Amino acid sequence: MSTAWSWVVIIGSLGSILFFYVVLQLNRQTGKESGETTGHIHDGIEEYDNPLPAWWYWLFVLTMIYGVGYLIWYPGLGNFPGIADWTSVGELETDQEASRARYEPLFAKYRQLPVAEIYKVPAAVKMGQRLFANNCSVCHGSTAAGGFGFPDLIDDVWTWGAEASTIKQTILHGRKAAMPAWGTVIGDQGIRDVTAYILSLNNREADPDAVAQGETLFGNFCIACHGPEGKGLPALGAPDLTNGIWLYGNSRSRIEFSIRNGRNGEMPGFKHKLGENKAHILAGYVYGLSR
């Protein structure tokens, strides 16, 4: 907050309390006799003009003192940090630290188990399930079945590799897939031909001439990442294009779209957020989903 805004907040907060104090004083009417009326009469009912009851007056004063005290203790006055040094971030960190101290030993217990063994321990699976629901299901779905652009983690098909250690690596450090856009390189005809070739690899209907053209293009431009038979290369996250599983849709137009415009799927890394112990359990849980 800039200094000017800080002062606006300070003057606004203290000014409003002062304003109410002045209004309260002006209405106190200590000098008045009890029993005077305001002169208002309605249906024979007269309105008295008595001073405020003392308890009510002092309650009001107390709330004002409390309010000022609160603004001094907590950071309520613009940029003034408050004498208690309280911050919402600080409170969150203290809470997180406390829960880490409490629960981390539970997670650490499974650290000596290899990732590939964790899914055999029901208690660990339960933890994995909860961690997954909290951290992963937003993208991979509550059942881990994925969706458009988000891989299915239940089938035993892995673009980045099937080993338990690879899965853990993915969770800790994330993945960035880089499929270049080919539209300007091979043109519209090229896109149609290479798509025909990919469809033929999946035993789907395609024009034989286009398939022949597409095979040459594929050999020139695609095998570096997708491999000579289109079976993919886990080290690059280049998917198998022959297994009938499509991250970005299986229709001809969707496949053409992927090739023309490229794709850049990104899985965020969770090392900082979860730490090694939780990532270890999660990796074991995900590894077990397809078993």
Structure tokens at 217: 């293009």
Closest CA to 123 of 285, 266, 286: 285
196 is a contact residue toward ligand HEC (CB under 6 A): no
Burial of 199 (0-12, 13-18, 19+ CB in 10 A): buried
277 is a contact residue toward ligand HEC (CB under 6 A): no
Taking CB atoms, the residue at the shortest distance from ligand HEC is 265
In the complex, minimum distance from the CB of residue 96 to ligand HEC, in angstroms, rounded to a whole number: 17
Tell me which of 12, 15, 180, 219 binds ligand HEC, using CB under 6 A: 180
Q: What is the DSSP letter of 17?
A: H
- Please answer whether residues 14 and 80 qualify as being in contact, where contact means their C-beta atoms are separated by less than 8 angstroms: no
In terms of CB distance, is 77 or 282 closer to ligand HEC? Answer: 282
In terms of CB distance, is 109 or 173 closer to ligand HEC? Answer: 173
DSSP one-letter string for 190-237: HHHHHHHHHHHHTT----HHHHHHHHHHHHHHTHHHH-TTS--BGGGT
Instruction: Show the site string, 223-262: x = touches ligand HEC by CB under 6 A, - = not.
Output: -xxx---------xxxx-x----xxx------x--xx---
Structure tokens at 137: 């299901």
- Please answer whether residues 268 and 132 qualify as being in contact, where contact means their C-beta atoms are separated by less than 8 angstroms: no
In terms of CB distance, is 77 or 132 closer to ligand HEC? Answer: 132
Number of residues that bind ligand HEC (CB under 6 A): 47
In the complex, minimum distance from the CB of residue 182 to ligand HEC, in angstroms, rounded to a whole number: 4
Strand partners, 233: 238
Residues that bind ligand HEC in the complex, under the rule CB under 6 A: 135-136, 138-140, 149-151, 153, 158-160, 167, 170-171, 175, 177-180, 182, 194, 221-222, 224-226, 236-239, 241, 246-248, 255, 258-259, 263-268, 270, 282, 286
